[in-house]
Every structure is written in structure tokens, then in C-alpha cells.
Copies of this chain bind each other. A is one copy, B any other.
Amino acid sequence: MNFLAAPARLSTANATFEAEFKARLHWSAEADTAIEKTVADILADVQQRGDAAVLEYTNRFDGLSAASLAELELTQAELKAAFDTIPAAQRDALQAAAARVRSYHEAQKKASGESWSYRDADGTLLGQKVTPLDRVGIYVPGGKAAYPSSVLMNAIPAHVAGVAEIIMVVPTPRGEKNALVLAAAYVAGVTRAYTIGGAQAVAALAYGTATIPNVHKITGPGNAYVAAAKRRVFGTVGIDMIAGPSEILVLADGTTPPDWVAMDLFSQAEHDELAQSILLCPDAGYIAQVQASIDRLLNEMPRAEIIAKSLSGRGALIHTRSMEEACEISNRIAPEHLEVSSTDPHRWEPLLKHAGAIFLGAYTSESLGDYCAGPNHVLPTSGTARFSSPLGVYDFQKRSSIIEVSRAGAQLLGPIAAELAYGEGLQAHARAAEMRLNPK
């Protein structure tokens, strides 16, 4: 079968650009009332009946016939056995990737995740103590999108943060276990793992059951049921984010081999028909070359059908007036992945305000970042890079403010606090401050 990928061809010089651009970008995670109702029921049921409910839903939805939840635990021996049975090249790749991801996140912790404090002139100590979460849950999708790399990207930052217990859940539809996922859990040092998924797994992690310990935060992507469940348990536990379809935006100055750019666009498109791949370039001739590369390379790809649907349905090749304008448009999109495919990427990088990850230069294919460069591949999607960040060590830490007011400091601060407290009608606050003034 021959597939055709026809991304929209837009030009910022056209009067119709704004409308076409907006239409192409539009994506909305419509809240599905039926899913919401189902998820609310599952959460309530698991909260009430615990293990029994999780077992029933798992057997029903994943086609299993387990007799107890304990049967669904993956032992450490089983994780190690999976690691031992995969090909040596895969073992080496997993370990090399894990080492680089660990090293990057250690640098991240050092740069922005350490406790700090100072004393001000009147001897008052101020600061923040940074501590790890005690126990976290990692949701790993099963079925068609089972990504061992995601196990590393979720578990390693938690480890680096100092989280003592990492509980992994991964559904195994019809009992099929993915050896590479299990091996990744072994490499990443997951504490306990269960073959459960869906809203029932989120509920088990959030509320705890007799078998599954409750956690304090749940990270990791999942389908619409998992997303709805995470949104509902938010507050009882922390969650990372609600992920939408994956996106790549390539800003090209026309100097990168067009085949490379075409393949980078494919690598996003192959995830999912809803994934979005966009090229922004001021050189119309280059855009035509990339389209020619797309046409030539597409049918070599095993996932050509998904790629073609994604590129034709949501992709775009946008001709801009300049690289500066391309940067502006990129900021409007706030893409998850942003490649600056240019011989002079550091010229453009300062103009880029919103993106999950910025890949600089022709050699930095997104795929290198996805697996092993070191930075996290769990990134904000659907424009949420305007207000959120890649998954990181900071997601597995929390902060406590530290305040130690000296006797001298209390004399200085007391009247200020009392004035404002009286202004707010909170007299006990005021009196508490005043009692510390000139004590015997």
C-alpha cells in the first residue's frame, strides 16, 4: 500500500494565514461525560472495596483471571529475569541511557533542588528545606504504547530526588508482559511493581489498598481514563500533568539535510494520528525539499499509515518571512519539542520563550533527547509549556519554609505584623505578635 503525507502548506505572507494557522493548531481535550462518570464510579469503588475492586476491574478490562491482587505483583526476581533475557545490545542501551539520564538529573538537583538559607541583619534565619517525597507511583502504559524509556524517565528523577519507594503500575492486556518495560524497571530501581492499569490503578495508588501502598504523587502518561482519574485524585495526591498528543516544531534555516528534518517530523507523527509535526522556515525552496524527502521516505517506514494520517491531518509546513517571525510563531505554539535546525542555533535560542525542550543544531535530533541525551522526555504538551516544565527532580521533592525570628527580629517584625493583622480583623494574630514585644 502506498501512503501519502500532505501536511498543510501555509505562508505567513498570505491573508488567510491566521485563520488557517488557528484551525490547524486547534486541539481540545473535550471532557467526555461518560468517561468522567465511569472514572468517578471506579474511584469510589476502589476507595471503598480496595483490593477486591481493583482485582475485578483488572480481570474485566485486561482480560485476566487472577485470583488475588498479590498474584499481580511483579517480583524483583521477575524484573531481573526480564533484564537477563533481553538481548545484550538492549541491556547495554538501557544501562547507557539510564546512566546519562541519572547524571543529568543529578546536575539538575544540584542546580535547583538543594536546601538554602540565610540570616538577615537582625539575626533572623530564613530559607527553604528541600526534601524528597516518601513514596511515589509511576503509571506506565501497556498495550500499543508501552515505552520502556518512560520507565527510566519517571523513575530515575524520583531516585535522584531521594524518594524511598517507587511503585510502578503497568497494565498487561491479555497477560502480555513487555520484557523491555520490566527490564527498564529493573535498571531504574523500581521498588514494587504491579500489572494493573486504568483508573483502578490510579485509585489504588491514590487511596491505597490492603496490597498496594498509597503514594503521595502519581506521574506518567495514560489514556483518557487514566487522565480523568489523575485529575480527580489531584489534591489527595500530587500529579505531574495531564498530557495531550505529542508535538514537534522544527525551526529550520535551510541548512540541515532535508531528509533529517523529514525523519524528525516522522518521528513525532509515528506516535499517534493526533501527534502534530510542524516545520517553520523562511526558505520556500527548502520547504519543497523537505516535502520531497517526506514523499520519498514515507513508504520505507513500517508506521507509514499513522505517519501519513498525522501529517495530513495535523502537520504543517509553514513558510515564514524570516527566522525571527518563525521564532514568534513558535512562541505562540509553545511546543513540547522544539528543534532549532540551524548552523547558528544560539542566535535564535534567546528568542524562544515557551517550549518543553529545545534541541539545538542539526545533530540534535529529538530522538536522541527522547532516549539518552539525559534530559527528561516527559514534557508539557498542547501549549502547556507556557506554564509548566519538563518532569524533573523537583517533581519528586517538596519544600518547607524555614523561619527562625531572633528576639531582636521579633521587636522589628511584631509591630508590622500586628498593624496588618488588626487591619484584617485577625486580633489573635496581632496579639501573638505583640506578646513577643519586650517580654520579661
- Contacts from A to B (Cβ < 8 Å): 29, 89-90, 92-94, 96-97, 100, 103-104, 107-108, 111-114, 116, 118, 120, 124-131, 133-134, 146-149, 180, 216-217, 231, 234-235, 237-238, 241-242, 257, 259-260, 263-264, 266-267, 269-271, 301-303, 307, 338, 345, 349, 352-376, 379-380, 384-390, 392, 394, 398-407, 409-410, 413-417, 419-421, 423-433, 435-436, 439
When the two chains form their complex, are residues A363 and B410 in contact, meaning their CB atoms are under 8 A apart? yes
- Among A103, A267, A354, max chain B CB count under 10 A is at A267
Question: Contacting A401 at CB < 8 Å: which of B93, B113, B390, B416?
Answer: B390
Question: Contacting A147 at CB < 8 Å: which of B217, B359, B424?
Answer: B424
When the two chains form their complex, are residues A436 and B365 in contact, meaning their CB atoms are under 8 A apart? yes
- Give the chain B neighbours of A428 by CB distance below 8 A: 263, 266-267, 269-270, 301, 303, 307, 367
Minimum CB distance partner of A227 in chain B = B235
- Give the chain B neighbours of A436 by CB distance below 8 A: 260, 362-363, 365, 368
The minimal Cβ–Cβ distance linking A52 to chain B, given in whole angstroms, is 22
| Closest 10 pairs between A and B when the two form their complex, measured CB to CB | A266-B428, A238-B387, A360-B404, A111-B116, A93-B419, A389-B399, A357-B401, A375-B401, A367-B429, A371-B417
When the two chains form their complex, are residues A234 and B237 in contact, meaning their CB atoms are under 8 A apart? no
Q: How far is the CA of A217 from the CA of B387 in the complex (A)?
A: 7
- Give the chain B neighbours of A420 by CB distance below 8 A: 90, 93-94, 97, 148-149, 371-372
How many copies, total?
Answer: 2
Interface pairs (30), CB distance under 8 Å: A89-B419, A90-B420, A93-B416, A108-B128, A111-B128, A112-B116, A126-B375, A128-B392, A148-B423, A148-B424, A216-B387, A260-B432, A260-B435, A263-B435, A267-B428, A270-B426, A271-B426, A301-B427, A359-B405, A360-B404, A368-B409, A368-B433, A370-B421, A370-B429, A371-B433, A372-B416, A373-B405, A375-B403, A385-B400, A394-B394
The minimal Cβ–Cβ distance linking A100 to chain B, given in whole angstroms, is 8
When the two chains form their complex, are residues A126 and B373 in contact, meaning their CB atoms are under 8 A apart? yes
When the two chains form their complex, are residues A384 and B93 in contact, meaning their CB atoms are under 8 A apart? no
- Give the chain B neighbours of A128 by CB distance below 8 A: 108, 111-112, 375, 390, 392
When the two chains form their complex, are residues A398 and B403 in contact, meaning their CB atoms are under 8 A apart? no
Minimum CB distance partner of A264 in chain B = B432
